[in-house]
Amino acid sequence: MRFWPGSRIIPGIRFAAEPKAVSFSHRTSVKRRFGRVLSVLVRKTAEESLGPAVEAPPGMGGRFERRRADIVSAAVPILNAQGFKGMTLTAVAEVIGLKATGVTYYFPRKEELAVACFESGIEVFHHLLDEAEKEASPALRVSRLIRLFIERDAAVRRGEVCPLASFSCIRALEGEHRSRVAEGYKAMFRRVRDLMAVEDGTGPGKRARTFRTLSLLEQLYWANTWLADYDIEDFPRIAERMTDVVLHGLAPSGQSYQPSVLQWRPGASETDGAKENFLRAATREINAHGYRGASVDRISASMNVTKGAFYHHIDAKDDLVASCFRRSFGIVRDAQRKVRGKGPDEWWRLTTAVSELVRFQLCDEGPLLRTSAVSSMPHEHQVEIVSLSYQNARQFAAMISDAIAEGSVTPVDPVIAAHLINAAINAASDARPWTVPVGADDPADYARPLFYGILLP
């Protein structure tokens, strides 16, 4: 079978007989019209299905799907590093040696590629859950999930599998694309939550398990950052120590939970209250829409001010996000300082600081900026932000070490425990939809499992 001289062989398109001889100009015109029609049909199919958008042409199923998988594998690291707004089809194409038009054949729009990235991560998580659900008890199921997640992270670092897409980037999607991925994420979330369910009803209730699932998922994904500090050979030991803290908490047997309510106003600024309001509004917008999705227009509109008023307080958007991070980390450090040298023991200091930070996440003055925003920031800011995050974690580790020494906290790995506490505090703002206006019990509902274990009734 022969094709027109110089024409591109389009997968899945076959001619019944050799075409009649035509002039070069006519052939070119026909090809261009045919190409436009095919492009429109492919794009229409993609938009109607919203994502793995184009079905494999006849006879091309295996090869077509492999190429799509290659593109998704190339796109995930870019999506994680640049966010949805920063990911371009051209950048993805360059990674695998294609032109941008080569990627659009499989994913006509960037939104469809992003959806495919998120759905690939959700599918991987479902495979992990398939294995975890085989265990007989909640403790074994949660333990298995942690171990499998850490094992997969090791495989990523060895270059054997593709990283998981950061689900925090879902916030940057809009409309039906966001709804589709959100529904998939909710199904995955419910399966994680059900790992903690006890058939006889003696375990934590649905609301409590929802809080704990928020915390556990954030702890798993934040581990992708701090695991880089360890050798891959140490990952099995780290999984065991992480599981120990998640399942059993920090409290020795019989230790009561009685944190105090501090008299403080985290984030308040006597010198520039207007700038503080800008930072609070920007934090909420970035948490909701991602670093690149939170535009200056959107932030200004949320405060009912002009862009000129915005730039009166903030020089540039990158500086704004860095300032939001500094504000958030400063609030964490402030809570740690407020309890220093006070109270009866280190246990009280640790539980009070954590409880107050959770309270801040749920109150009108909150929340803290999600650490997931750091991945899509310019590199010069990333170094500073990660350093500040580690400073807060080291302070929590020091508090845990002192508490272990005095016997008010059970012996655990203080560094790993500190990272888990940091991650859980960071995710606490996501508990807002499940809380009533903040009362005395709300922080305890979320924070107590950090100290008594995720399966606390």
115 vs 119, 141, 181, 184, CA distance in Å? 6, 29, 6, 10
CA angle 451, 420, 356 (to 5 degrees): 60
Give me the residue label for tokens 């294995």: 131
Read off the amino acid at residue 54.
V
Best CA proximity match to 86, nearest among 226, 264, 294 = 294
Report the 3 state secondary structure along 168-221. Answer: HHHHHCCHHHHHHHHHHHHHHHHHHHHCCCCCCCCCCCHHHHHHHHHHHHHHHH
Number of other residues whose CB lies within 10 A of the CB of residue 237? 12
User: 432: how many CB neighbours lie within 10 A of its CB?
Assistant: 14
pLDDT in tens, 246-282: 999 999 999 999 899 887 777 555 445 677 887 888 8
What pLDDT does 331 receive? 94
Residue 450 is classified by DSSP as: H
> Which bin fits 290, alpha (ψ -120 to 50), beta or left (φ > 0)?
left
What is the distance, to the nearest Å, from the Cα of residue 346 to the centroid of all Cα atoms in its chain?
A: 32
Q: With beta carbons less than 8 A apart as the criterion, state whether 249 and 142 touch.
A: no
Rounded to whole angstroms, what are the CA distances from 66 to 61, 75, 100, 139, 155?
Answer: 9, 14, 18, 37, 20
Longest CA–CA span in the chain (Å) reads 95
> How far apart, in Å, are the Cα atoms of 255 and each of 244, 357, 408, 453?
17, 21, 8, 13
Q: How far is CA 360 from CA 327, 354, 365, 385, 439, in A?
A: 13, 10, 7, 20, 12
Looking at 57-205, list the stretches that DSSP marks H as alpha helix, in order from N- to C-terminal side: 61-86, 89-95, 100-106, 110-132, 138-157, 175-194
Record the tokens describing residue 385, joined without a space: 């932000």
Q: Nearest CA to 372 among 413, 415, 324?
A: 324
By the 10 Å C-beta count (0-12 exposed, 13-18 middle, 19+ buried), 107 is classed as: buried
Give which of 89, 149, 90, 94 is closest to 114, Cα–Cα: 89
Residue written as token pair 């389009």: 10
Provide the total of helices (H) and of strands (E) in the chain, helices listed first: 17, 0
Inter-CA distances, 202 with 157, 197, 205, 417, Å: 40, 9, 8, 27
- Read off φ and ψ for residue 409, nearest 5 degrees: -130, 140
Cα–Cα nearest to 259, from 354, 367, 337, 401:
354
pLDDT in tens, the chain (457 residues): 333 333 333 233 332 333 334 333 443 443 343 344 333 333 333 333 333 444 445 555 588 888 999 999 999 999 988 888 889 999 999 998 888 888 999 999 999 999 999 999 999 999 999 999 999 999 999 999 999 999 999 999 999 999 999 888 888 888 999 999 999 999 999 999 999 999 887 889 999 999 999 999 999 999 998 999 999 999 999 999 999 999 999 999 999 998 998 877 775 554 456 778 878 888 888 888 777 666 777 777 777 776 666 666 666 666 777 888 889 999 999 999 999 999 999 999 999 999 999 999 988 888 998 887 776 666 777 778 888 888 999 999 999 999 999 999 999 999 999 999 999 999 998 887 766 544 445 688 899 999 999 999 8
pTM above 0.75, yes or no: yes
Token reading at 447: 């924070």
Task: Tell me the domains of the chain and their CATH numbers.
Answer: 24-106 (no CATH), 116-233 (1.10.357.10), 273-452 (1.10.357.10)
